[in-house]
Structure 1
Amino acid sequence: MADDQSPDGRPAGPLSGVSRWLSRTARALGGPAVPDSNYDPGRHGPLVSFDGLDGHEEVDRYWLNAPYAFVSINFDPAADEHRYHVVEPSLDELEADLLNRLFEDVRGPLIYRTDVADDPERALREELRSRLVEYGVDVEPETFYRLYYYLYRSFRGYGRIDPIMHDPRVEDVSCDGAGLPIFVYHEDYTDVETNVTFDADELDDFVVQLAQRSGRHVSVSDPVVSTTLPDGSRIELALGEEVTPRGSAFTIRKYADEPFTPIDLLEYGTFSLEMLVYLWLAIEHNKSLIFAGGTAAGKTTSMNAVSMFVPPRSKVLTIEDTRELSLYHDNWLSAVTRERLDDSDITMYDLLRSALRHRPEYIVVGEVRGEEAITLFQAMNTGHTTFSTMHADSVQTVINRLENEPINVPRPMVQSLDVLCVQVLARSGDERVRRAKTLAEIEGIDQRTGELDYSNAYAWEPTEDRFTDSNSDLLDEIRRERGWSQSELLGELNDRKRFLQYLRREGIDDYRRFTAMVNKYYADSEAVMDRIDAAGVAVED
């Protein structure tokens, strides 16, 4: 960082010698006054304030990192668009100069402290107080915690985008180049421009820091990196102007702290109750699934959610190139690919071949793109239940991608796939929604035409935003496998609908509690249904 700039990007101003003068004065005259109490918004003044944007209507405001930063969502009627305005503590010239000095003087001692990992906030506060005492600076609690915020944001947070990374309603954060506004994908307002920007040098440094934080290396000779942050967020990085002419760029797909459950999919209308019960029976009876869709259609989220229907104690092995899947399952082995500059890469194909030696009952692959698909379908043909995702917007597109370059799965092997779910990110009224467009059953190869046959068990009607169903051969196959009569199958479907409705009514959408309840159903379904009967839960129309 330049000597004339503070960590928040403000110029240090003409007071660059103030801290040195204060330090000399303190040594001559005695002790300073540094607050040793925590910030109390009731006793101290506010750290942030914002009066709104001219010509805009504020439609939402909420904390991102209380009491330091909040967001103000504003609507511009002239442009007919929203603005995502991040509000952080403002610093006067003296505070900005002090922060610039503190940034270097605090970072060194923190590196050598052994207790930083245990309590980084306390360690930073202690070092900040020590430096202020050393300088002989008399500061108010508000100033102390403004300085603390920017130091913590730089050392432990995500710099300029740290407030945005705290926003649970933001799914994606993207920077298209230096001097350009950051854009976010907000769950309520979709793609929104923010007031956050990077200059060129700062952006280059930030991209390098993101790569280092992920344990990867990015350079001019190797300018593109796709990896995962420690919190599980997926990032795509580009350094310099080698491949992105407007300068360094990045996109962060934020990782949800709590993965979605089938109850969440039901609440959001992605699937109907009947479709979830259908997938539950398919998974329990070892049917293989592929979830297809375009970018941000929610295919990985749905696959992760319905994987919570896997029976307890079944051995599950997940394979990903970036960590996204999260299961609450005792017998679960997670594997992630490794990329290096030398010849020691571990690819998804390598992990999939290794997975078969672990004798898993369920293999979940993050996404198939190439040669690993052959091994995946070989696993299907040898009795392993597999789930995976693909980029495709229809059943026929999935089949075409599987059978042609670069995947090249032979058609007789493709017919071992049981269920194909195609999801879309679409508009319903004024909202953008994620919907399961089709649940299709692969029926085999037509003897007359030689083409792969499939039928739609469920389909989404966009004009009415509802799901329709057709006769399912798969459910008949499961009924025969279990030796059920038709009435017994219908009874089982009805019980599982009531079970999911009960969990929805009780608000059991935490993935740990949801999985625990599903496991109870597997262990003693009669006892669980007796409890639901006592609660008076009936199947809703």
Structure 2
Amino acid sequence: MGKKIKLEEIPSPWKGIEVKPVPEDYEILERYAIREGLAEVVIATPPGPTIEPAYFSIEAPLSPEEIMALDKLKDILSKELEPPKPGEEEEAKKVLLKTAEKVLKKYERVLGRFDEDAKNRIFYYLERDMTGFGPLNVMMEDYKIEDISCDGVNVPVYVWHRDYESIPTNIVFVDRDVLDDFIIQLAHKSEKHISSAFPILDAMIYGKHRLAATFREEISLRGSTFTIRKFREKPFSITELIKTNLLSPRMAAYFWMLIENKANILIAGATGSGKTTILNALSCFIKPRMKIVTCEETAELNMPTENWVRFVTRESYGLGTQKMGEITLYDLVKTSLRYRPDYLIVGEVRGEEAFVLFQAIATGHGGLSTIHAESIESVMKRLVSPPMNIPASHIPLLDAVTLVERVRLPRSAEGRTYGRRIRYIWEVVDYNRYVTVAEWDPTTDTFREDFMSSIVLEKIAARSARSKEEMIMEIERRAELLKRMVERNLLEIRDIAREVYAYYSDPEQVLRKYGVTPILVPAAAPAEKPEVKPVAEVAKAIKRDSEGGEDA
């Protein structure tokens, strides 16, 4: 069909974008397909002492005849078809390709005749530019990419890669107007507005991906910027997290025991550390008949249960300082209590909604949430400081706090140098008093657990007329069950939830299914028990603190 030309020479709506090829002197570290024969990713590093890799988005080149047909198809289809509405993108893609096939056949004498490979290339770019993400399409379809960010014009687009962390790409916006237009298109995909008058956008786009953007030089000196945090359609399961060594099977079984008994857990960590991933994975341990209510600013949770009420905040309809119709996280958490949830899950606490959450757990509701913090001390300081303002007397209502971080790993056979790990699990005794029951050893990339020192297990044992030793034996048994699930490659969260639900009904049958027998653990010498305030005493303190306040 003629000479193929380079991708950067293809006429498109994205002419103001530079797409750099892989330099010949670069060493290729990895290459993998995104769409076979159409799009692939190359990870390469420059020569010399540097080891900083770069991400190259490589798409199939087109012949001049294919480019002409593509441009004419775009012109015809843009007049015949309506832009896809949010939530209808998949159907819009099918309609687009079906209509394109008919148009290509109808106008064959004008557009030209193409073989199947050429058609596939034309239709790929057609779908990419009309219903996809244009020059970012490869990154959006790459399952190894977590975040995509543009810091302005003449700066490479950066991605957060699971294996290489933050690395530059071969795509650069070199025209301010093109970058502005691209961000406006992203805003349209979310049915939101961005302009010089309202230059900040926080929205969700097709695929439940989270978009944050700024417009022109109103608040960003380099011009428009954006960050896309990708949403994983199939959420990580607890067995996947065990398989990647984010936590040990015993730690997972410990969480299972706590959540079964409606314990209150806070997951701490920095941005992008995996807090929401863990929160979602732990949800499979909630008993199937329990009612779950979740409150989020952006819908990120994806739980394997039916008895689930999902609440999401709403932005104001007003202009300027008016806040007409705004529904905050605080409003949602207050409303959720009227639904009588067994478990109240808040995507992230950072404001006055934290106080309502603590009131909820004081009255018997189970509570799960995340918080931005990098140590148990900073968790406590954030909780008792404005704008959360949790009284110190409420802190013992929290059963456990766990810290997850992105860490440097010991060099492994796979060559990975970074990963996510649960660094600590603490049990809360009182304000600024806690017990460490598990921690990660960075020298060996293993975990150390000390459940004999657990206060929470002791309280659960007392309520269920069992000894702490029996509780630990049950944790060992569940840990072995989770290990067997990993060995059998049972990784889908709904499959895990199904087995957990079956375990609640008939544990012995599930254990036999996986060949697990009870494991007896020698009881260690009991640790000195810290003084623990009775729950009744804490509840009374909360009642005193809440007198005269607004009823949640």
TM-score by length of 2: 0.84
Question: What aligned pairs does 1:342-421 form with structure 2 within 5 A after superposition?
Answer: 342=318, 343-421=324-402
Measured in 2, the distance between the counterparts of 1:193 and 1:86 equals 11
Letter of the structure 2 residue corresponding to residue 516 of structure 1 = R
Structure 2 match to 1:523: 505
How many residue pairs get aligned? The number is 493
Alignment of 1:186-335 (within 5 A): 186-198=161-173, 199-335=175-311
| Deviation of the 1:189 alpha carbon | 1.6
Residue 294 of structure 2 aligns to a residue whose secondary structure is: strand
Contact 1:313 1:330 in 2 (8 A): no
Q: Distance in 2 between matches of 1:211 and 1:537?
A: 55
Change (3 A) 1:77 1:112: closer
Matched, 1:6 2:11: yes
What are the Cα deviations for residues 100-145 of structure 1, in whole angstroms up to 9, with x where unaligned?
3332222111229999648335424335415643735344444433
The answer to whether 1:155 aligns with 2:130 is yes
When the two chains are superposed, the root-mean-square deviation of aligned CA atoms in Å is 2.6
1:75 aligns with 2:45: yes
Q: Tell me the secondary structure at the aligned position of residue 491 of structure 1.
A: helix
SS at match of 1:314: coil
* 1:438 alignment partner in structure 2: 424
Separation in 2, partners of 1:109, 1:421: 54
Q: Which amino acid aligns with 2:213?
A: L
Say if 1:421 and 1:371 are closer, same or farther in 2 by CA, change over 3 A: same
Query: 1:145: which partner in 2?
Result: 120
**Matched residues in 1 for 2:199 and 2:435: separation?**
45
* Structure 1: runs of 5+ lacking an equivalent: 12-49, 445-450
- Cα pair 1:110 1:116 within 8 Å, conserved: no
Asked if 1 retains the 8 angstrom alpha-carbon contact of 2:69 and 2:112, the reply is: no
* 1:460 pairs with 2:446: no
Q: Per-residue CA shift, 1:177-213, capped at 9, x if unaligned? A: 1232111111112222111122322211111111121
Kept in 1, the 8 Å contact 2:476–2:519? The answer is no
Asked whether the equivalents of residues 105 and 131 of structure 1 are also in contact (C-alpha less than 8 Å), the reply is: no
Mark the CA change 1:480 to 1:538 in structure 2 (over 3 Å): closer, same or farther. closer
Q: CA deviation at 1:92?
A: 4.1
Letter of the aligned partner of 2:252 in structure 1? L
Letter in 2 for 1:7: S
* Cα distance between partner residues in 2 of 1:207 and 1:112: 16
CA drift at 1:265: 1.4
The answer to whether the Cα contact below 8 Å between 1:501 and 1:539 also exists between their aligned partners in 2 is no
**Counterpart Cα distance in 1 of 2:359 and 2:512:** 42
User: SS where residue 119 of structure 1 aligns?
Assistant: helix
Distance (whole Å) between structure 1 residues aligned to residue 111 and residue 341 of structure 2: 64
Contact 1:411 1:452 in 2 (8 A): no
Q: 1:87 corresponds to which residue?
A: 58
Change (3 A) 1:134 1:313: farther
Distance 1:177-1:488 versus aligned 2 partners, 3 A rule: same
Alpha-carbon distance between aligned partners in 2 of 1:222 and 1:66, rounded to the nearest angstrom = 41
Give the secondary structure class of the aligned counterpart of 2:171.
Answer: coil
Letter in 1 for 2:447: F
Q: d(CA) in 2 for partners of 1:150 and 1:409?
A: 54
Amino acid at match of 2:354: A
Listed one character per residue, the Cα deviations across residues 231-279 of structure 1 (whole Å, up to 9, x for unaligned) are 1211111111111111111111111121111111111111112211111
Deviation at 1:99, TM superposition (A): 3.1
Judged with a 3 Å threshold, the aligned counterparts in structure 2 of structure 1 residues 291 and 404 are, in CA distance, closer, same or farther, namely: same
Q: CA deviation at 1:96?
A: 3.4
Q: Secondary structure at the match of 1:218?
A: coil
Q: Alpha-carbon deviation of 1:91?
A: 3.0
Contact 1:72 1:85 in 2 (8 A): yes
Counterpart in the other structure of 1:96: 67
Deviation at 1:360, TM superposition (A): 0.6
Give secondary structure in 2 for the equivalent of 1:521: helix
SS at match of 1:197: strand
Contact 1:176-1:249 at 8 Å conserved across structures: yes
Query: Does structure 2 conserve the Cα–Cα contact (< 8 Å) formed by 1:6 and 1:97?
Result: no
Q: CA deviation at 1:77?
A: 3.0
Q: 1:69 to 1:202 in 2, by over 3 A?
A: same
Q: 1:144 to 1:529 in 2, by over 3 A?
A: closer
Separation (CA, whole Å) in 2 of partners of 1:488 and 1:10: 67
Cα displacement (A) at 1:416: 1.0
Q: Secondary structure at the match of 1:357?
A: helix
Q: Is the 8 A contact 2:21 2:170 kept in 1?
A: no
Q: Distance in 1 between matches of 2:444 and 2:385?
A: 36
CA distance in 2, matches of 1:423, 1:490: 23
Moved more, 63-72 or 358-367: 63-72
Aligned letter for 2:502?
Answer: K
1:71-93 deviation line (CA, Å, top 9, x unaligned): 11112232322121111122344
Distance 1:97 1:513, change over 3 A: same
Q: Which residue of 2 aligns with 1:47?
A: none
The answer to whether structure 1 residue 475 and structure 2 residue 457 are counterparts is yes
In structure 2, do the counterparts of structure 1 residues 490 and 290 end up closer, same or farther at CA, with 3 Å as the change threshold?
Answer: closer
Q: Give the aligned residue type for 2:296.
A: E
Deviation at 1:227, TM superposition (A): 1.6
Question: Does 488-497 or 131-140 show the bigger shift?
Answer: 131-140
Residue type of the partner of 1:525? P
Measure, in 2, the Cα distance between the counterparts of 1:288 and 1:438: 16
CA–CA distance in 2 between the matches of 1:175 and 1:118?
26
Question: How far does residue 536 in structure 1 lie from its aligned partner after superposition?
Answer: 7.9
The residue aligned with 2:542 is: none
